[in-house]
């Protein structure tokens, strides 16, 4: 099955011809934490299968996150119905809610705030209706903790490993993040996030293959593809993976919702845009070795550069 998205909707992540780690967050123009793309049905099918087959890998929560989970349900339903009224609606009578998902032809009745009225936790329920992965960071005693999350499409990390961890501990593996003091600044930035002013950022990496579920737990299945990249197959095999990450302050629990929408594009498709091809080549050419390593590119960087050079020559010739 192909997960590659279409070119027109692809959130191309680069502005300059160099790339460094930074807090590249910007205030959102359209304050919605979810997006329904043409691959909604296909992705929901995959997501639901993962959630049911591997719940421990895809879903984690601490008991004190329930109020925050309801807050996420309220925010997501509000955003779904206001942005996609043709696809989603809700009927509320006091705390009795009936949620309609018209794309999947489903109706869910529950009592808002009453956990027993759903067959699962509130975050688990709403996860079945959005393409995004949803991470709940609770602000407690001047730090942020990962207190609940639904993660089906991770870029090589493990929710089960990170549950309950502090922000800085979660980001410990990023090279240079701590040394440059970025972890502290971003933590402070997150803790001063305010309701009503959501932010978004794009994160990117490269991968061999087109799997959305690249969890740390399944590395044995997808990691080995890195060794199969050649200059001949790089265009088809290597994909740029872009995460649209959105940050919302949840005022009821003074916490943060971090939503991640993952998009994949083969380099073949990326190369059809001349400017992107040129810029992406320049970025990879001068990318620091520790970032190349962290983003998992080192195994096949040489083949990749050959492929991109060929593409650039082809473009110049036409």
Partner 1 sequence: MYKESTLSVQISSIVQETEHVKRFTLEIAKGKQLPRFSGGSHISTYLETPKGLLVRQYSLTSHPDDCSHYEIAVRLSEASKGGSRIWHQSMKVGDHLQISYPKNHFPLSFKARHHVFYAAGIGITPFISMMQELRDKGQTFELHYASKSKQYCSFYEFITQHYSEQSHFYFSEDNHRIPTLFLENHLVGTHVYFCGPETFIEHFVKAAKDLGYPKKSVHQERFSPPQLKRVKPFKVSLKSGNEIWVDEKQSMLDALLQHGLNVPYSCKVGRCGTCELPVITGDIDHFDFFLSEDQQNAQNCILPCVSRAKSDKLVMEIK
What amino acid positions are annotated as catalytic residues? 201
Position among 140, 168, 201, 306 found at the interface with partner 1 (CB under 8 A):
140
CB of 245 to partner 1, least distance (A): 20
Position among 197, 221, 230, 285 found at the interface with partner 1 (CB under 8 A):
197
Cα–Cα distance measured from residue 158 to residue 163, given in angstroms and rounded to the nearest whole number: 9
Position among 61, 253, 262, 271 found at the interface with partner 1 (CB under 8 A):
253
Cα–Cα distance measured from residue 221 to residue 225, given in angstroms and rounded to the nearest whole number: 8
Position among 192, 227, 286, 318 found at the interface with partner 1 (CB under 8 A):
192
Using alpha carbons, select from 285, 302, 313 the residue that is nearest to residue 17: 285
Q: Is 139 in the site for partner 1 (CB under 8 A)?
A: yes
Query: CB-based contacts of 15: which residues, under 8 Å, 6+ apart?
Result: none
CB 164 within 8 A of CB 146: yes
Give the count of beta carbons closer than 10 Å to the beta carbon of residue 196: 8
C-beta of 192 vs 227, nearer to partner 1: 192
CB of 19 to partner 1, least distance (A): 23
Of 12-20, 248-256, 273-281, 286-294, which segment contacts partner 1 by CB under 8 A? 248-256
Of 156-164, 191-199, 208-216, 229-237, which segment contacts partner 1 by CB under 8 A? 191-199
Q: Is 71 in the site for partner 1 (CB under 8 A)?
A: yes
CB of 24 to partner 1, least distance (A): 17
Cα–Cα distance measured from residue 180 to residue 199, given in angstroms and rounded to the nearest whole number: 22
# residues contacting partner 1 (CB under 8 A): 19
Buried b (16+ CB within 10 A) or exposed e, 54-82: beebbbbbeeebbebbbbbbbbbbebbee
DSSP class of 215: -
Binding site for partner 1 (CB under 8 A): 31, 64, 71, 138-142, 188, 192, 194-197, 249, 251-254
């Amino acid at each position: 099955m192909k997960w590659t998205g279409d070119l027109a909707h692809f959130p191309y992540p680069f502005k300059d011809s160099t790339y460094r780690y930074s807090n590249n967050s910007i205030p959102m123009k359209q304050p919605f934490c979810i997006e329904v793309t043409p691959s909604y049905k296909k992705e929901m099918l995959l997501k639901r299968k993962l959630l049911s087959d591997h719940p421990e890998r895809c879903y984690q929560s601490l008991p004190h996150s329930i109020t925050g989970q309801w807050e996420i349900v309220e925010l997501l339903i509000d955003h779904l119905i206001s942005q996609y009224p043709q696809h989603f609606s809700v009927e509320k009578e006091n705390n009795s809610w009936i949620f309609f998902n018209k794309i999947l032809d489903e109706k869910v009745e529950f009592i808002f705030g009453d956990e027993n009225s759903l067959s699962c936790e509130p975050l688990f329920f709403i996860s079945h209706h959005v393409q995004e992965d949803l991470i709940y960071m609770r602000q407690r005693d001047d730090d942020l903790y990962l207190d609940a999350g639904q993660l089906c499409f991770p870029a090589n990390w493990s929710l089960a490993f990170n549950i309950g961890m502090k922000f800085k501990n979660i980001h410990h593996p990023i090279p240079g993040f701590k040394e440059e003091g970025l972890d502290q600044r971003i933590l402070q930035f997150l803790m001063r996030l305010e309701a009503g002013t959501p932010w978004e950022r794009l994160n990117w990496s490269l991968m061999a293959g087109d799997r959305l579920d690249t969890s740390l737990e399944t590395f044995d299945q997808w990691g080995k593809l890195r060794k199969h990249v050649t200059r001949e197959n790089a265009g088809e095999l290597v994909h740029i993976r872009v995460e649209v990450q959105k940050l919302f302050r949840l005022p009821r629990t003074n916490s943060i919702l971090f939503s991640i929408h993952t998009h994949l594009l083969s380099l073949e498709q990326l190369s059809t845009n001349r400017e992107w091809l040129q810029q992406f080549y320049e970025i990879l050419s001068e990318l620091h070795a520790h970032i190349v390593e962290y983003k998992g590119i080192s195994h096949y960087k040489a083949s990749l550069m050959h492929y991109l050079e060929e593409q650039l020559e082809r473009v110049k010739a036409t």
